[in-house]
Amino acid sequence: MFEAYPAYILNGLLYASLLFLLSSGLNVVLGVLKILNLAHGSFYVLGAYLTTSFVALFVATGLPIYLVYTQILVAAAVAGIIGFLFEPTLLRPIYKREESYQLLLTFGILLVLSDVTKIVWGLGAKVAPEPFKLLGSFTIGGIPFPYYNLLVIAVGFVVFLMLWFFFAKTRTGKIIRATATNREVTTSLGVNVPRIFTLVFVFGCFLGGLAGALAVPMQSIFPGLAMEMLILSFVIVVIGGMGSLEGAFIGSIIVGIARSFGIVYFPEIELAILFIIMIIVLLVRPQGLFGRRE
Amino acid sequence: MFPKSFHIKPILGLLPYIIGIVALGLIPPLTGSTYLAYLVGLAIVLAIFAMGFNLLFGYTGLLSFGHAAYFGAGCYAFAMLMKYYHIQSFELLFLGSVIIATLTAAVIGYVCVRYIKIYFSLLTLAFGQVEYALVVKLYNITGGTDGIRVMMPTLLGFTFKDKGFFVTWPFYYYILAIFTICVIVLWIILNSHFGKILQAIRDNDVRVNFLGVSERRYKWYAFILSGVFCGVAGALFAPLNGHIGPEHVYWGFSATPLFIALIGGHRVFLGPIIGSFIYVLVRHYVTAFTIYWELFFGAIVILFTLLFPYGVCGGISLWLARRMKSAKTSL
Amino acid sequence: MASSKDEISKNILVTRNLKKYFGEVHAVDGVNLSILEGEVAFIIGPNGAGKTTFLNLLCKWLEPDEGKIFFMGKDVTKMPPYKLTKMGIGRSFQLVNLYDTLTVFDNIRVAVISRLGRSGKIFSLVDRDKEVAKETEEILKTFGLSDKKDLLASELPHGDRKLLDVAIPFALKPKLLLLDEPTSGVSTEEKDPVMKTIVSAVKAAGTTALIIEHDMSIVFSYSDRVIAMHEGKILADGKPKEVQENKLVKTLIMGE
Amino acid sequence: MGTYKHWREVKFLSEEKKEVSRRKFLATSIGTLVVGAVAGYAGGYATAPGKVVEKVVEKPVEKVVYKPPPKRPVPKEPIKLAYRDHLSGALAVRGEWTKRAMELLVEETNKEGGILGREISLTFHDEAIPVEECVADFRRLGLEAKVDVIIGTTSSGVALAQAPVADEIKTIYIIPHAASYKVVMEPHKYVFRTNGHTGAVPIAMALYVLKKMPDVKRVAHIDMDYAWGRDNWNVFIATLKKYKPDVEVVAEVWEKVGEVDHSTAITKVLAAKPDIVFNSHWGGQLVSLVRQAIEYKFFEYTTFVCTVIEEAFPEIGPDFPEGQLGAPWTFYWEYPGYRWNLNRWFVKKFIEKYGVPPNYPCMQCAAAFFAYKTAVEKAYEVLGEYPTKEQIAETLAGLAYAHPGGMNRIRREDHQALAPPTVGVTKIDPKWNMAVLHDFEVISAELVYPPPFTEPLEWIKTW
């Protein structure tokens, strides 16, 4: 039985990487704009649907097949641009408003986007298998494991490093963190805060779209996933600590591994395992693993 | 930066309330349509649910994401008491459901009120989803996703055969009576000493500690009271709908009272009631005519949050206040 | 100087070796203080001397790291703020935060309701409670806010907001009133009338008061006793005259 | 196309219920000659709809010369048919298919004069709204819009909620998809179900596994963690254990509805090295499970046994592994060897219009549509005037009728159609460039349907 352990751990890391990518977008927007973007799940769905269309188009063009992975980034970018439509028009007027208004507005966007995807891509399940099939799989501990999954784990890790480096080391990163801590002061320093907010929101949507784009080749995308993905990103953001990237990264790994071994040893638990972890963290350390107490 | 609060002195005293209740009472005799009676009954039940939710949201400043858990507790208590204990009398079932819903709210509330702002909301969401997972998993007791069928209970000892008649006449007036009591009780609570303290907690919960009032304990009392109203709504909903399932505990359903409160106006007493009628009627005719009802609803939500942040009643009160100049008015 | 048992019972408030650290910063570093019933004492000192922190420790906004607090002879170090307030300590806030969407009348009424112990009454209409209304009107009159009682707290000019901020704890009829710079942000010519209203109300009710204030002219014209703090410790404590002459106070605080 | 074995005993359509021993069925390889009987009987009885039907019915069936009563005129206004399905949300995957099927059925039938000359007006309604909205909308259709018949519902929860309401609003409610056996556990006058349920199809699946792989021992399963998945698995494993008590369950996985990441489930199952892996996934979840399983070389290590396998055929296309056992739940569009007019007509029209063969949700729609159509025509024949809703309901109870998916007999007691489930093995069909079921068997209804109002697990205990 133990020879399957490496496979379970790899599966755990795979789920952790997807969780981190999914929640990083929400985390960035929450950390800087102090907005809990309920429509974040819709950008995951958009990224996925766009990938299915772009990959299908790409395969039709007959270009060398190994370039199909570019379509994943293209789809994520388009998802980010769609985010650009919403931020200046709808979100900017209510930054000063009470928190419940921001939540409700993003909930409205979630509803609108879920029907838009239905109108554009229809009601059926869509797949984009080429990137997944291309790399084949190897066996570890007697159990086959696709190479594509390793790619996703790697991307998750790389994105974490890039984000950490961006916010800790680069100038713009520091400016964004300053805006997050105190808008008024940063505005007085001559920083164009509204533009920073738009940039950050678009970047959040891009990350959400990237998670969807990376996941769809392994899975499939069908209407109604936006709410599921939103709850998953909630759990990670809470466990890791609001707006904390290190927290989300470590939190994703804990949840990914816990879920993987949970399925193996307690099959009944799969439905509630995420929420139980979330409640334990909220009770023991409400600010999350790495968050700061407000 | 926030709108003017509303002095609770209603403009024309209790007149609008009496007219409203009488008008609702005339629907069955005038129209005699089972369908309309069912729809209005549903609107009233959701109004009670939204009033319970708004006691926390609009008057104590606590935004809960998992309120469907207490409404669902009321529904499931009603259905399971009827199914496993073969209780037929509505009054007994009603009492049992309200008690169980209130206990659920008390237990979950005790833990959640320790936290503020987004932590509170997410913790209520998490507890709500754990209850949802329990309801789906214990499927040999709760029927899981198939839910449980709710027969017609006996009202004051009378049994009924035809569900159509049951919904249009006896149960309709039963709901209306309970609704009137709920409105009066809530109005008194919100205008009582306790109500005033809750509003102080809404504006500045930390400072309330320095008035000699334990902020945490009073938030908990408010949470329990809210649980009572959710239990009442759940207990009325089960026989009206005839069938209850896990979707009444899912967090998606928790967004309904938030919709209703914000559309109606969460800072006005009448807000959730008017909001509920608007919600049920608009939602109902939209879903009947288009499969893209989510688009329609999303647009309404965005419109209201941007242009009418105070909701319908809030907007009307503001407009009246401006025109009446002197007294601060409110519906 | 160890205070003996009887000193605790005689004074309304006694602190023993009270300490509070924020990382290495010793905001309050071992303060021993006794306040007599009915005294109006002012606390002066440069910014960062630990004045506000000390006040926050007394009303349990902050938990002390070390030391003990005795109020009316009882050890209240471990008591939560709302119990302490019930026993008789009221406080105002340096950064004014009122009940913004309630009317001025309601801001005071909430305090009166709590004082009369009626906050738990669910089925009694507060508008019909004559006693609460009468008492609230009195407080409004003493603080000169009667004509603005139907305005919302957020609609008041700054001076009135400051007054309201003091009126709320005063409505609790506390035995000890802690005021954190009640006149800060008020225009200079208005500072004196505001302080006069406050001190006369406090004196009339015989309440002990501990007031943090920067404006020296006000301090020395209204205080019975002045306590000078510097870097978390008490530099000098006594009659206004004595403290004014004290060399240390002159150099460290007055900066002469 | 695969070989088609004839079944020896004609079981079907004999009114008296002869107790059939399952052991005999297994010992003498394939049991009842169902499809053959179906084809023969159906072929003669009802070919293309519309004009041909009148001809057949007039031929007197009994020896006694039967003089049909004078025909009174049929009302002119169109028959209002409301179709309800999940047209949004996670279950919308089927909505797209069933919408196509219903549009085709109504369009073609109207071209040939509708039912008894009355044109059919079809309206679509979305069921992916909270249940109480569904129920309210259902009432509105019956009371306000006064529709003649409501066909639809995929989720059993909604079907259970709406069944009592159908009697309340006295409107015929035919359920083509919702498959929980609980839906027909209580008698309802106006409610009929025209496809197999979770108490029957898993039994057929188990019998087929026992026949195909008699030496199966190690069994694993991945199922959705709600009533549907639970019923499927419990009935399947109970049947298997009844015949082979030494069968061992080596790995269990319960997945939440809407789960997209199956990697851990697949790894756990592979680690247990099972002979077969039972599964009742459907919709997008089945598609993503098979998609991931292929990359995990799942099908080289074990065999898939899936009760709703056809759902994944179009999306997975030629990658679908061959040799997997499966059922299209109840009806399949292609009966190799035996095609009768209704089946040929419906499949030809469907492919003409959409370029893709109709999958099982479409066949289920057709089964429901023809149930109503045949009942109305039969009632009109007997009464001589256009039947009321009540009369149509009485005709439907106990009605035996043909439809493109096979032959149904709706049981009088609980209005459940004894639709014989079809099972087969997957094989890639170059014509459609996707997998199809071949090596086909139709398992007689008496073997798999529990008697009215009995729990399937209790019934299995009594074998």
Contact A220 D295 (CB under 8 A): no
Judge whether D447 is closer than 8 Å to chain B, CB to CB.
no
Are the C-beta atoms of A212 and A113 separated by less than 8 Å? no
- Look-up of token digits 């890639």: D428
Q: What is the pLDDT of residue B39?
A: 86
Are the C-beta atoms of A128 and A51 separated by less than 8 Å? yes
Judge whether B188 is closer than 8 Å to chain A, CB to CB.
no
Are the C-beta atoms of D255 and D228 separated by less than 8 Å? no
Percent of chain D with pLDDT over 90: 18
**Token pair listed for A176:** 């964004």
Q: What is the pLDDT of residue C4?
A: 63
Rounded to the nearest 10 degrees, the angle between the axes of helix D341-354 and helix D360-383 is 130
Upper half-sphere CA count for residue B94 (Cβ side, 13 Å): 19
Inform me whether the pLDDT recorded for D14 exceeds 50: no
Q: What is the pLDDT of residue A77?
A: 94
List of chain A residues whose C-beta atoms are within 8 Å of the C-beta of residue D256: 270-271
B31 dihedral zone (left: phi>0; alpha: psi -120 to 50; beta)? alpha
CA dihedral B59, B60, B62, B68 (to 10 degrees): -60
Inform me whether the pLDDT recorded for D57 exceeds 70: no
Q: Distance from D92 to chain B by nearest Cα, in Å? A: 11
Other C-beta atoms closer than 10 Å to the C-beta of D121 total 16
D115 DSSP assignment: B
For residue D95, list its beta bridge partners. Answer: none
Nearest to D93 among A14, A124, A259 (CB): A124
List of chain B residues whose C-beta atoms are within 8 Å of the C-beta of residue D255: none
Other C-beta atoms closer than 10 Å to the C-beta of D242 total 16
Q: What is the pLDDT of residue A293?
A: 54
pLDDT tens digits, one per residue of C165-200: 888 998 988 888 998 888 887 788 888 888 888 888
Are the C-beta atoms of A183 and A173 separated by less than 8 Å? no
Residue of C nearest to B215 (CA): C82
pLDDT tens digits, one per residue of D168-205: 888 999 999 888 888 888 888 999 999 888 888 999 99
Strands C13-22 and C25-35: antiparallel
Confidence grade of residue D114 (pLDDT, cut at 50, 70, 90):
confident
Say whether D279 sits in a helix, a strand or coil.
strand
A87 DSSP assignment: I
D424 dihedral zone (left: phi>0; alpha: psi -120 to 50; beta)? beta
CATH of B12-330 given 1.20.1250, 2.60.40, 1.10.10, 1.10.3470: 1.10.3470
Exposure string of A160-179, with b = 16+ CB inside 10 Å and e = fewer, is beebeebbeeeeeeebbebb
Residue of D nearest to A14 (CA): D263
Q: What is the pLDDT of residue D89?
A: 58
C86, C106, C119: which to substitute to probe chain B, counting the most B Cβ within 10 Å?
C119
- Distance CA(C64)–CA(C21), nearest Å, equals 9
Which of A:18-47 have CB within 8 Å of D?
18
Judge whether A231 is closer than 8 Å to chain D, CB to CB.
no
Burial level of B18, CB count in 10 A (0-12/13-18/19+)?
exposed
Nearest to B194 among C90, C115, C122 (CB): C122
Strands D120-126 and D79-85: parallel
Contact D225 A123 (CB under 8 A): no
Confidence grade of residue A45 (pLDDT, cut at 50, 70, 90):
very high
Q: Mean pLDDT in chain D?
A: 80
A265 DSSP assignment: H
Q: What is the pLDDT of residue D4?
A: 34
For residue B148, list its beta bridge partners. Answer: B244
Nearest to C121 among B4, B194, B202 (CB): B194
Residues 6+ apart with CB under 8 A from C82: B208, B209, B210, B211, B212, B213, B214, B215
- Distance CA(C166)–CA(C108), nearest Å, equals 10
End-to-end CA distance of chain A: 46
Nearest to B191 among C86, C125, C150 (CB): C125
Residues 6+ apart with CB under 8 A from B153: B82, B88, B89, B90, B93, B239
Say whether B245 sits in a helix, a strand or coil.
coil
Average pLDDT for C139-144: 88
pLDDT tens digits, one per residue of A167-195: 888 888 888 888 777 777 777 777 788 88
Q: Which residues of chain B carry a pLDDT beneath 70?
A: 1-13, 291, 325-331
- Distance CA(C209)–CA(A152), nearest Å, equals 65
Percent of chain B with pLDDT over 70: 94
Inform me whether the pLDDT recorded for D290 exceeds 50: yes
Burial level of C149, CB count in 10 A (0-12/13-18/19+)?
middle
- Look-up of token digits 């001025």: C104
DSSP labels for D118-174? B-EEEEEEE--S-HHHHHHHHHIIIIIS--SEEEE---HHHHHHHHHHHHHHT-EEE
Judge whether C63 is closer than 8 Å to chain B, CB to CB.
no
Contact A260 D264 (CB under 8 A): yes
Query: A120-124, B65-69, D50-54, D77-81: lowest mean pLDDT where?
Result: D50-54
Q: What is the pLDDT of residue B308?
A: 85
pLDDT tens digits, one per residue of B121-147: 888 888 888 888 888 888 778 887 778
- Distance CA(D347)–CA(D326), nearest Å, equals 21
Residues 6+ apart with CB under 8 A from B107: none
Judge whether A125 is closer than 8 Å to chain D, CB to CB.
yes
Amino acid (one-letter) located at A268: E
Residues 6+ apart with CB under 8 A from B132: B69, B72, B246, B249, B250, B251
A36, A85, A101, A104: which to substitute to probe chain B, counting the most B Cβ within 10 Å?
A104
Burial level of D420, CB count in 10 A (0-12/13-18/19+)?
buried
Q: Distance from A244 to chain B by nearest Cα, in Å? A: 15
Inform me whether the pLDDT recorded for D447 exceeds 90: no
- Distance CA(A83)–CA(B328), nearest Å, equals 42
For residue C34, list its beta bridge partners. Answer: C14
Residues 6+ apart with CB under 8 A from D348: none
Q: Which of D85, D88, D90, D86 is nearest to D260 (CA)?
A: D90
Q: Mean pLDDT in chain C?
A: 85
For residue D279, list its beta bridge partners. Answer: D222, D306
Contact A115 B1 (CB under 8 A): no
Residue of B nearest to A233 (CA): B122
Amino acid (one-letter) located at D79: I
- Distance CA(A274)–CA(D119), nearest Å, equals 53
- Look-up of token digits 């089945």: D286
pLDDT tens digits, one per residue of D334-349: 765 566 788 888 888 8
Q: What is the pLDDT of residue D63?
A: 64
Q: What residue segments make up the domains of chain B, in order of their start?
A: 12-330
Contact B192 C125 (CB under 8 A): yes
List of chain C residues whose C-beta atoms are within 8 Å of the C-beta of residue B210: 59, 61, 81-82, 85, 90-91, 169
pLDDT tens digits, one per residue of C45-73: 888 888 888 888 888 888 888 888 988 88
Contact B117 A294 (CB under 8 A): yes
Residue of C nearest to B225 (CA): C122
Higher-confidence position of D260 and D249: D249
Residue of B nearest to A110 (CA): B298
Strands D303-306 and D276-279: parallel
Q: What is the pLDDT of residue D36?
A: 40
- Distance CA(D202)–CA(C68), nearest Å, equals 74
Query: What would the 3-class secondary structure string for D195-207 be?
Result: CCCCCCHHHHHHH
Contact B163 D140 (CB under 8 A): no
Q: Which of B48, B44, B27, B45 is nearest to B36 (CA)?
A: B27
Highest mean pLDDT: which range of A135-149, B262-276, D436-450: B262-276
Nearest to C81 among B191, B199, B209 (CB): B209
Q: Distance from B298 to chain A by nearest Cα, in Å? A: 4
Amino acid (one-letter) located at D455: E
Confidence grade of residue D10 (pLDDT, cut at 50, 70, 90):
very low
List of chain D residues whose C-beta atoms are within 8 Å of the C-beta of residue B293: 88, 126, 129
Q: What is the pLDDT of residue C100?
A: 86
Inform me whether the pLDDT recorded for D17 exceeds 50: no
Judge whether C135 is closer than 8 Å to chain B, CB to CB.
no
Q: What is the pLDDT of residue D237?
A: 93
Judge whether D356 is closer than 8 Å to chain B, CB to CB.
no
**Token pair listed for D73:** 């005129």
Are the C-beta atoms of A74 and A54 separated by less than 8 Å? yes
